[in-house]
């Protein structure tokens, strides 16, 4: 049975990254994002088919995330060298091209395990997406089958609902009223 992470402190992490420029490497830790919102997402493998559609869509939306004081970090169990090769690969050859955020390497699989998305027998992660608030608390998690990509639009909607500070009813969208609990 999967563990509930929402409402709990985000598990700490320290990982090496391939930067989105496709040239350099870096490091990422949970403390790097303190004071900001973080969209932290896992994907199964580099050089696959659904993953580049999600990663490039999130990269294209990065400026909008930044407007919401939100950063983005992708992670898989591949190495930083595989990540860099994938970023450098031509989009016509299932490559990513340059990204606006880094891809982290969870080669030890410890972070995927801590976030309860590791498929042990395959050594890869499920598609897990977590929104972590500025106090490093997980406030949203969605985990789905690896054959189905996630929605950037829904991620924005949920992020803005969380940032509204109100009670947001079904199908709430930015600009809609939140629920009045005093009625």
Pick one of 3.40.50.970, 3.30.365.10, 3.40.30.10, 3.40.50.2030 as the CATH number of 14-164: 3.40.30.10
pLDDT of residue 130: 97
CA distance 156 to 113: 26
pTM comes to 0.93
Give 67-110 as a DSSP string: HTTEEEEEEESS-HHHHHHHHHS-GGGT-----SS-EEE-TT-H
Known active-site residue 51: yes
CA distance 71 to 68: 9
pLDDT of residue 52: 81
- The angle at the Cα of 149, spanning 143 to 155, to the nearest 5 degrees, equals 70
pLDDT of residue 182: 66
- Which backbone phi and psi does 41 adopt, to 5 degrees? -125, 145
pLDDT of residue 180: 73
Catalytic residue selected from 51, 131, 138, 159:
51
Domain extents for the chain?
14-164
Paired tokens of 145: 């089958």
How confident is the prediction along the chain (183 residues), in pLDDT tens digits per residue? 457 899 899 999 999 999 999 999 999 999 999 999 999 999 999 998 888 889 999 999 999 999 999 999 999 999 999 999 999 998 888 889 999 999 999 999 999 999 999 999 999 999 999 999 999 999 999 999 888 888 899 999 999 999 998 888 888 898 888 887 765
Inter-residue contact 74 to 101 (CB < 8 Å): yes
pLDDT of residue 1: 44
């Amino acid at each position: 049975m999967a563990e509930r992470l929402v409402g709990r402190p985000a598990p700490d992490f320290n990982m090496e990254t391939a930067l989105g420029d496709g040239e350099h490497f870096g490091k990422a830790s949970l403390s790097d994002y303190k004071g900001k919102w973080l969209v932290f997402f896992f994907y199964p493998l580099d050089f696959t088919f659904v993953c580049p559609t999600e990663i490039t869509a999130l990269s294209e939306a990065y400026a909008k995330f930044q407007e919401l004081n939100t950063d983005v970090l992708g992670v898989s169990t591949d190495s930083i060298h595989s990540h860099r090769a994938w970023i450098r690969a031509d989009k016509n050859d299932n490559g990513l091209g340059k990204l606006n955020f880094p891809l982290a390497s969870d080669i030890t699989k410890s972070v995927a395990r801590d976030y309860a998305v590791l498929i042990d027998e395959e050594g890869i992660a499920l598609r897990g997406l977590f929104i972590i608030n500025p106090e490093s608390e997980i406030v949203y998690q969605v985990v789905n089958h690896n054959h189905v990509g996630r929605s950037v639009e829904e991620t924005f909607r949920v992020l803005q609902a969380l940032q509204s500070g109100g009670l947001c009813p079904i199908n709430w969208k930015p600009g809609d009223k939140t629920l009045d609990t005093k009625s």
